[in-house]
Amino acid sequence: MKTIKVLKGQLLQSKGDLNSKIYIIESGLLRSYTIDDKGKEHIYMFGPENWLVADNCEPSVPCQLYIDAIEDSIVNVAPKEEATKQGADMDAILRRLNSMQNRIVMLMSSTARERYLHFIETYPEIPQRVTLKMIASYLGITPEALSRVRNELAQRK
Amino acid sequence: MKTIKVLKGQLLQSKGDLNSKIYIIESGLLRSYTIDDKGKEHIYMFGPENWLVADNCEPSVPCQLYIDAIEDSIVNVAPKEEATKQGADMDAILRRLNSMQNRIVMLMSSTARERYLHFIETYPEIPQRVTLKMIASYLGITPEALSRVRNELAQRK
DNA sequence: AGAAGTTCTTGATTTACATCAATGCACAGG
DNA sequence: CCTGTGCATTGATGTAAATCAAGAACTTCT
């Protein structure tokens, strides 16, 4: 486990990489994402301070996520074996499972508006640090759709 | 941890329940699902033999998933504390995280057809045991859309 | 076997959201 | 101060899938 400094925009992991690592963010902001066949980016997760970002695949198989830095960041890098063998904070894993479950339920049953409202409520710090385009990508909608949702919400007041 | 027998259609857990349990399927088939504001069901997960079905929330908060039996089943029921404290099979948890990640990536970036193809490839045994309506619900599409996808694929041969 | 309920398919219509294209805006560097 | 570049917004149009409405094909039960 070593600590590294990464600059905004720097790529830490590419789709297809073997032996992908686990990144624990000390400061800054990372993101993990895929690029589909049409070349479109889909943000899988944001990684602010104290979060853990990784592709949840076995070390031996090619990973499917890209990981890069949205802000200059200080990051701890650990190989997966290490992190899984030693105690591995069970509480953190359960929180993670829970947030993924929420995400799946949202993606299956919520409208663009509901997703946005849930997002800003759940992650109030993130919106100020990323572009609307990235939020839209995380929510699974287009920037245009997000813009409209935000307008409707602003007017409704 | 006790073993119970459940009949097809029997409800094991309701949205809003506190102290939700963990269900390990010995034989039969369970499903977990939500019902949205419009009354629509969204299947979160199927639980065939040897799978574990649960709402990944803390025992103290109301859960968001319903769980019932699609077939007559034999199921082991464990309280969450028990399952998380004792060893807790780390391999199984990682596999689970991985399959949830796949699900999220799929929901964000794949068409109805791609989802269906991925599903029958990943879970070849399930389709024969559940209705198309349930498959559609799992994939996040309507039964009609699924019917059309299947027709196109059948003709394409 | 026949009735009654499901499940599946088909067609017509609507809707939410994507896509495309154009414009406005702000900040950065010359 | 202009001017380029990236981001957000707006409007027009397109499209995949949802919804609505029937009907056909299976099941299940008596």
How sure is the predictor about B30, in pLDDT bands with cuts at 50, 70 and 90? very high
% of chain B exceeding 90 in pLDDT: 80
A2-30 average pLDDT score: 94
- For the cut 80, the answer to whether the pLDDT of residue A17 exceeds it is yes
Q: Do A105 and B57 touch (CB under 8 A)?
A: no
Cross-sheet strand order for the sheet of A73-78: A2-6, A73-78, A22-27, A52-54
- In this prediction, residue A4 carries a pLDDT of 96
Q: Which residue has the higher pLDDT, B78 or B154?
A: B78
- For the cut 70, the answer to whether the pLDDT of residue A2 exceeds it is yes
Integer Cα distance of B70 and B75 in angstroms: 13
Quickly count helices (H) and strands (E) in chain B. 5, 8
A93-109 average pLDDT score: 92
How sure is the predictor about B25, in pLDDT bands with cuts at 50, 70 and 90? very high
Q: Is residue B42 within 8 Å of residue B140, measured between CB atoms?
A: yes
Of the given ranges (A141-155, B83-97, B131-145), which has the lowest mean pLDDT? B83-97
Going along chain B from its start, the domains and CATH numbers come out as 1-85 (2.60.120.10), 89-157 (no CATH)
- For the cut 80, the answer to whether the pLDDT of residue A116 exceeds it is yes
Min CA distance, B129 vs chain A (Å)?
Answer: 22
How sure is the predictor about B21, in pLDDT bands with cuts at 50, 70 and 90? very high
Contacts of B86 (CB under 8 A, 6+ apart): none
Mutate to test the interface with A, among B101, B103, B106, B139 (most CBs of A within 10 A): B101
Contacts of A44 (CB under 8 A, 6+ apart): A31, A32, A33, A34, A65, B101, B104, B105, B108
Q: Do A104 and B107 touch (CB under 8 A)?
A: yes
pLDDT tens readout for residues B81-137: 877 665 567 888 889 999 999 999 999 999 999 999 999 999 999 999 999 999 999
% of chain A exceeding 70 in pLDDT: 96
- For the cut 90, the answer to whether the pLDDT of residue A28 exceeds it is yes
Residues with CB under 7 A from strand D: A 131-133, 143-144, 146-148, 150-151; B 38, 40, 111-113, 140-142, 144-145
Angle between helices A143-155 and A112-122 (to 10 degrees): 80
Question: Nearest nucleotide by C1' from B147 CA?
Answer: C9
- In this prediction, residue A91 carries a pLDDT of 82
Q: Do B104 and A105 touch (CB under 8 A)?
A: no
The rounded mean pLDDT for chain B is: 91
Integer Cα distance of B75 and B12 in angstroms: 10
Handedness of CA A147, A71, A115, B118 (dihedral sign): positive
pLDDT tens readout for residues A43-59: 999 999 999 999 999 99
Q: Please tell me which residue of chain B has the smallest CA distance to A34.
A: B105
The rounded mean pLDDT for chain A is: 91
B31-35 average pLDDT score: 94
- In this prediction, residue A89 carries a pLDDT of 76
- For the cut 80, the answer to whether the pLDDT of residue A85 exceeds it is no
- In this prediction, residue A6 carries a pLDDT of 93
Instruction: Find the length of chain B.
Output: 157
